[in-house]
Amino acid sequence: PVRVGILISGRGSNMMALVEQAQGYEVALVASDRPDAAGLAWARERGIATFALSPKGIGKAGYEAEIDAALRAAGVQVIALAGYMRLLSDAFVARWRERIVNIHPSLLPRYKGLDTHSRAIAAGDATAGCSVHVVTEELDGGAVLGQAEVSILPGDTADTLAARVLVAEHALYPRILAEYVSR
Ligand code: GAR
């Protein structure tokens, strides 16, 4: 199986889905820019190697060098971003070219960036959803590998919509990552 490293910043529910539905890949490391990320404890309890480092005080380049070293030490071949809320530098993306994927809570190319669900509701869209894409230097701009659509219902708030899209994320991401690592 291909060795995958997952980067998270918080809850880590997509990371959990990737671990639980792993096919053709194995999760070799879960790393976070936030040592208190809830998902880290979950991974540790399951015997998955973890690495946590705050960029505070060491600068972006120093921080990324440490993350890169941890990923390489764990033999990681492909990186999956899962609620990782930090922009990777161009240099980091170049070092892992075509080997970083991300899940984004919108139907790309619509709503790159933050607050995707409130923007979709405000626009009067009939559907929202999520996308798995290759990470390039352009924010949320790389090739889309797969998407799942979710209806926007009358009365939806950003929170109710986010909860339904999240269910779709947990089904989509493991399936697309399995396809990607066997490409
Ligand atoms: C997910 O909805 C993911 O799509 C989104 O953050 C959430 C993380 O939840 N990602 C982004 O907004 C990336 N810019 P999780 O930590 O429970 O997986």
- Taking the centre of ligand 1 as the mean of its atom positions, its distance from the CA of residue 72, in whole angstroms, is 24
pLDDT at 15: 98
Residues 6+ apart with CB under 8 A from 113: 139, 140
User: What is the mean predicted confidence (pLDDT) over 106-116?
Assistant: 98
Model confidence band, residue 94 (pLDDT cutoffs 50, 70, 90): very high
- pTM for this prediction: 0.98
pLDDT at 7: 98
> What's the CA gap between 46 and 50, in Å, rounded?
11
Give 69-82 pLDDT, tens digit per residue: 999 999 999 999 99
pLDDT at 135: 98
The answer, yes or no, to whether the previous bond of 109 is cis (omega within 30 of 0) is yes
The residue behind tokens 């764990």 is 74
Known active-site residue 117 = no
Shortest-distance atom of ligand 1 to CA 130: 4
Of 7, 8, 14, the residue with max ligand 1 atoms within 8 A of its CB, to mutate for a pocket test, comes to 14
- Taking the centre of ligand 1 as the mean of its atom positions, its distance from the CA of residue 116, in whole angstroms, is 11
Q: Say whether the ipTM exceeds 0.85.
A: yes
